[in-house]
Amino acid sequence: MIQLQTFKKIREYEWEIPTSYRGDMRQPVRVFATRNLLEAALGDQSFEQAVNAATLMGLAGPVVVMPDVHQGYGFPIGGVAATRYPEGIISPGAIGYDINCGVRLLSSRVELEAARAEINLLASAINQRCPSGVGAKGVVHLTQPELDQVCRQGARWALKKGMAEEQDIRRTEEGGCVEGADPAKVSRRAKERGQGQLGSLGAGNHFIEVDVVKEIYHPEVAQAMGLFEGCLVVQIHCGSRGFGHQVCTDYVQSFQSVVKRYNIRLPDRELVCAPMDSPEGKDYLAAMRASANYAFANRQLLANAARQAFHEVFAVKTRNWQLSQVYDIAHNMGKIETHTIAGEKVKVCVHRKGATRAFGPGTPGLPLEFAPYGQPVLVPGSMGTASWVLVGTQESMERSYGSACHGAGRVLSRHQAKREVRGEQLKTELEAKGIQVRAGSLAGLAEEAPVAYKDVDEVVKTVVAAGIARMVARLTPVAVIKG
């Protein structure tokens, strides 16, 4: 059993579970955390899952764990693993069921003080235009050929349909389209689920939030991003809906026999995987990329709907009502990247599950205006608490495969939260703080109560103090829309 004394302190905010802990570990586990966050995570199976992940075939370096870590399916949420490409493995459980769950941030010049009387109307307008809830239908229903186009083109499909701006594409990770997607590798059931859900929020921890830029810590970077203190911004947090969930389900099931075929031994069947250069591994990568593109398009359509809501509420009274894209970034993805590991440049597949890409300054592929500062990192808090905008650093490239945290991280399961929190009371408390709430389900609202999550400020301060991210701005909510 993993205890506090299991960890070796590497430096301030960085700990290690060495390979000597268990004989089947191929690599150590590196954890970014304060002592307080480390002790809190011992309450679930997060670190046991990280140790299990450290046994995977073809790992190029340590398994990295972020301070918002909590227990997931097989692989911890808040975990990062890099396997050598193409001879290493690809594991669906180490990417997650909600493929390309991520966050989009839109900024405005609408000042909260001037718009405070309109926030209630704005929350209703966004809620009306952005379908949410379990199984919710999207704003468009795709034909089969259209769905295949979305799978190949991602957010660029929305641009062709007039539901995106050029800046949206340029300021989205991978330009909103991951190459190598193949809808032919996606099951019929996944496509059936995906045809009707594009442009919908879903349920669980997904949300749309209207926030105000409360504090700016790096004015030069904030200005490049279009963030202004006291002005409204919109966060959209969702992923690939039932489409991506079904893709993961299909491949987790099929890989149960694949591991036997390739004689892969695992300490946990939820870590099922396949060699990346095997036919099965290539099929999953192609289907995962199709799901990722679906998610990019999904957030794009929701952004378009949020713009319509802003237009309806503010266009008559406010000249500068427009919403501009800051960035869109994934936190459940497998990406082929090159990293320097132990002094050697290595091509790897970086599995990020509940972890955000946080590339440092000058990294190829960043929008030109962000290149001097690093990749934007969007870290939503729990409902009713702060969210953060960060940028990646050179140290993140050297120590965490260019990765940082993705949120606050759960401390209570959804069932525990529902037992301890009454949704109606929580709604009343949030609205007493000046936060408008639109929720399809009070039980669903209770699941996402702030008490169910770690302190996002402590999580962010940890990655900043560890040197793998820098603060840009702190956001606080004025309206929350949930399924």
Question: How remote is the C-alpha of 254 from its chain's centroid?
Answer: 25
Q: Which helix (H) or strand (E) holds 329?
A: strand 324-330
User: What number of residues does the chain have?
Assistant: 483
Q: What are phi and psi of 253, to 5 degrees?
A: -70, -45
- Return the DSSP state at 450: G
Is residue 104 within 8 A of residue 235, CB to CB? The reply is yes
Name the burial class of residue 13, with classes exposed (0-12), middle (13-18) and buried (19+) by CB atoms within 10 angstroms of its CB: buried
**CA gap 310, 333 in Å, rounded:** 31
Is residue 174 within 8 A of residue 155, CB to CB? The reply is no
Cβ-based neighbours of 263, under 8 Å, separated by 6 or more: none
**CA gap 374, 394 in Å, rounded:** 8
Q: DSSP for 123-177?
A: HHHHHHHS--STT---S----HHHHHHHHHHTHHHHHHTTS--HHHHHTBGGGG-
Is residue 295 within 8 A of residue 100, CB to CB? The reply is yes
Residue 104: count other Cβ atoms within 10 Å of its Cβ: 27
**CA gap 349, 76 in Å, rounded:** 17
Question: Residue 394 forms beta bridges with which residues?
Answer: none
Is residue 469 within 8 A of residue 402, CB to CB? The reply is no
Four-residue CA torsion sign, 367, 369, 373, 378: negative
Question: Residue 325 forms beta bridges with which residues?
Answer: 106
Catalytic, 406? Answer: yes
Q: Which of 237, 311, 406, 415 is catalytic?
A: 406
**CA gap 58, 7 in Å, rounded:** 24
Q: What are phi and psi of 169, to 5 degrees?
A: -70, -45
* Packing angle, helices 188-195 and 144-153, rounded to 10: 90
**CA gap 169, 171 in Å, rounded:** 5
Is residue 79 within 8 A of residue 63, CB to CB? The reply is yes
Cβ-based neighbours of 311, under 8 Å, separated by 6 or more: 321
- Return the DSSP state at 353: E
Catalytic residues: 406
